[in-house]
Amino acid sequence: MGVIHKLRPEIKQSIIDEKKANPAISCRSLSYLILQRFNIEVSKSSINSVFKEAGLSMAAARVPKKEIIKPEPVKPEIPIPEAVKAPEPLPSEKAPEKPPVESPKLQPGPRTDELPLPPEMPCTGAIFLKAADFLLGGSRRVAELIKNSLNIDNEQIWSKTEALIYLPLFQAPQESRIGALQALVGRGIPSEDIISYHNELQSVTTLGNGISQIIGDVSKEARCIKVDFSTKDSLYIDGQMYSVWSTPHTPYDFSTTIYNANSYINRYFNNDSPLILFTAPGYNAPTKEFFGFISGLESQTKNITGLKIYGNKYEELDSITLEGVKKRFFVFAMWPWQFVNYRKVVKIGEFKPFYFEPLELNLYLADIEIELMQPDAKQRLTLKGCALKTLLSEKTRVVILSNLSLEAAQPENLANIYLNRWPNLGETFQDYSRKIELFTYMGSSQRFFSLENLKTDQAPLGTKTILTDYLRVLDLYVRWHFLPEGFKEKDFPTIKEQFYGLNAVVKRGNGRTMVKFSPPQGYLFQKELEYACRRINEQEIMFADNTRLWCLP
C-alpha cells in the first residue's frame, strides 16, 4: 500500500480522467501512473475514495470469455525464442511448420490466486531487460491494451504479460526457473496461470496490430528537451538530464525514451521535485545558458513558458505548454577544477560522516555556500549546498549546490537527493566526458537506438511473435544504453549467455529492490557487468510495487 497523501486537485482529476477513459483500469495500475506523473505514492484506498466521490466505483461490465482448451497435466514444450506453447491453430490459420527445437519444460503449478513471495529470492541478469522495459513503458501499455480488449480488471495482467515476455530466457530446471521468473515480475503467479493467460491471448486475433503499434511508439527516443522562456530565448537539456546545452546537438548516448522524458517533465516541471542535473556546463566559466536556465526557474520576470521534445533526427515529438509562473527547484554538481576564477567560497563547515545506504558508501559532508559569476552576462549567483569527500584526508571530490529551502538543502538530505540520481560520481564523469568526445569526433557517422538496428524478418502478427519481438527490443536497448560501446553489435544469444543468464539474488525491503549478482568463477565480463549496474543505478528504475531498483555486481 502506498503512502496516503492529501491529494492535490490535479492528481484527483488525473485519476478520474484515467478511470473514465479506461473503466477497467485497476487501482494498482493507477497508483503506478500517478507515481510516474506526479512523483507521489498514492494508496489504493485513496484512489478508491476518489472513485466514490466521483461516482465511478461501479465495477466494469464484463463479457463472457471464450472457452479455452487447458493444457494436459504434462509438461508442455516452450520453444525458444517463443513463449508458451499455444493451442493448435485452426486449419485456415495454420502457420507453416517449423523444425522442432529442443526446449525446457514448464510444469503447471498448484492453482492459487497468488503465491506469497519471500523477501529474498533467486533472480537472473534478465533484470537488465526489466530495467529497459521500465524506461520504454512497453509492457504496461501492452497490459492496458489486453485488459481493454478482454474487458477484464485483474491486477495480475501486467505481471502475467511480463512473464510471457521474459519466459523464453529461463532454461533452468522448472522449480528454480519459476521462482526466478516470479522474482523478476515481482508477483507469485503460478505457472498454470501463465499458461492459461497465454491461451486466452491466443484466442484474441485483434491484439497483434495493436501491440505492434505500441512497440513502435515506445521505441522512439527523446534526444533533448527545448526550454522556451517568456523572454523569447531558449536552451536545451539532453534526454537523460546530464546538463544544459546551447543547441540540440547533444550526444546520441544521452537520449532517453519518450516515456521517460515525459516522466521527467511531469516530475520536475509540473510538480515540486527538484530537477537534478549531473553537472553544471562549462569548464573555465559557467555558461550563459546555465545562468539563464537557473534564473528562469526562479525569476518572476523570466519564466519557462513551454517545453518541446526532439527526437534523434531533431524532429519535434511533443510540445508542452506550462501555465502560470512558479518557482522551480534544481540540484547540480560542480567539480573542483570547474570555474576556478569565477567562484568564491563564502563559507564552509566541518566535514562529518555520512553513510549512503543503497550502495553501502561511507562519505563525508560539509555545508558550503558559494558565489558563482558569469563574466559575459556580468551576473552573480550565491547558492548553498554541500561539499563531499570519500576520505577525510583527501580534497573535496565534488560540490552539490541547489536553490532548495534551507531545511531541504541540509547536507545529508541534499547528498541523498543527488546520489540517488547520480550515485557514481567520478566514474560517471569519465563516462560522460568519453561519450562527448566520441560524439564530437564521430557525430555524423554515429548511429542511434532505433528499431532499424533490429534485423527482423516480417512475421505474422501473432501475440506470441510480437511479444518475442519486444523482448528483442529490450535486448537492443540494454546493449545500446547499459553496456559498454563494443556490445552494440552483439547478438541476442551472446548477451543472453554473458549477462541475462547470470545468477543473482533479489532482496526487497525499505523501499528498495536490491539485486546482487554472483557470477561464476572465471567470469570474463566483470568490468562490463559493473558498468551496466552503474548505468542502471543512474536511471531511478521504480517497479510497480513502488520499490527502487539497485544493482550490485
In a domain, 389, yes or no: yes
In a domain, 40, yes or no: yes
Is the domain of 204 the same as that of 237? no
Per-residue b or e along 501-510, where b marks 16 or more CB atoms closer than 10 Å to that residue's CB: bbbbebbbee
In a domain, 128, yes or no: yes
Is the domain of 95 the same as that of 144? yes
Whether pLDDT at 84 is above 80: no
Whether pLDDT at 175 is above 80: no
Rg for the chain (alpha carbons), in Å? 25
Task: State residue 229's pLDDT score.
Answer: 92
Phi, psi of 267 (to 5 degrees): -75, -45
In a domain, 85, yes or no: no
Q: Tell me what the pLDDT averaged over the chain comes to.
A: 82
Is the domain of 397 the same as that of 546? no
Whether pLDDT at 94 is above 90: no
Spatial distance between the Cα atoms of 366 and 351, rounded to a whole number of angstroms: 4
Residue ranges in 39-151 assigned as alpha helix (H) = 44-53, 127-136, 138-150
pTM, two decimal places = 0.78
Task: State residue 189's pLDDT score.
Answer: 85
Q: Band of the pLDDT at 82, cuts 50, 70, 90?
A: very low
Among 387, 411, 431, which residue terminates a domain? 431
CA-CA distances (angstroms) from residue 29 to 43, 58, 158, 494?
11, 17, 8, 34
Is the domain of 210 the same as that of 338? no
Q: Could you tell me the residue range of the domain that residue 282 belongs to? A: 221-431
Is the domain of 360 the same as that of 416? yes
In tens, the pLDDT along 443-499 reads 666 788 888 777 554 554 577 778 888 999 999 999 999 999 889 989 999 999 999
In a domain, 470, yes or no: yes
Domain count for the chain: 3
In tens, the pLDDT along 107-155 reads 443 444 577 778 889 999 999 999 999 999 999 999 999 888 878 777 7
User: What average pLDDT score do residues 24-44 get?
Assistant: 69
3-state secondary structure of 50: helix
Spatial distance between the Cα atoms of 170 and 103, rounded to a whole number of angstroms: 10
Angle at alpha carbon of residue 30, lines to 27 and 31, rounded to 5°: 85
User: What average pLDDT score do residues 332-350 get?
Assistant: 95
Count the neighbouring beta carbons within 10 Å of the beta carbon of residue 200: 17
Task: State residue 196's pLDDT score.
Answer: 85
Is the domain of 157 the same as that of 246? no
Is the domain of 378 the same as that of 237? yes
Q: Band of the pLDDT at 234, cuts 50, 70, 90?
A: very high
Is the domain of 28 the same as that of 114? no
Rounded to 10 deg, the angle between the 138-150 and 157-166 helix axes is: 120
Is the domain of 210 the same as that of 246? no
Pull the grid cell for residue 84. 508458451
In a domain, 531, yes or no: yes
Whether pLDDT at 105 is above 50: no
Is the domain of 205 the same as that of 307? no
Spatial distance between the Cα atoms of 173 and 178, rounded to a whole number of angstroms: 9
Task: State residue 481's pLDDT score.
Answer: 95
Q: Which of 10-24, 201-215, 437-451 has the lowest mean pLDDT?
A: 10-24
User: What average pLDDT score do residues 301-328 get?
Assistant: 90
In a domain, 81, yes or no: no
Is the domain of 421 the same as that of 353? yes
Q: Do residues 335 and 398 touch, judged by C-beta distance below 8 A?
A: yes
Instruction: Return the higher-pLDDT residue of 16 and 18.
Output: 16
In tens, the pLDDT along 246-297 reads 999 999 999 999 999 999 999 998 888 999 999 999 999 999 999 999 888 8
Whether pLDDT at 536 is above 50: yes
Instruction: Return the higher-pLDDT residue of 364 and 146.
Output: 364
Is the domain of 26 the same as that of 139? no
In a domain, 33, yes or no: yes
Per-residue b or e along 147-179, where b marks 16 or more CB atoms closer than 10 Å to that residue's CB: bbebebbeebbbbbbbbbbbbbbbebebeebbb
Q: Percentage of the chain surpassing pLDDT 70?
A: 82
Spatial distance between the Cα atoms of 367 and 387, rounded to a whole number of angstroms: 6
User: What average pLDDT score do residues 6-27 get?
Assistant: 74
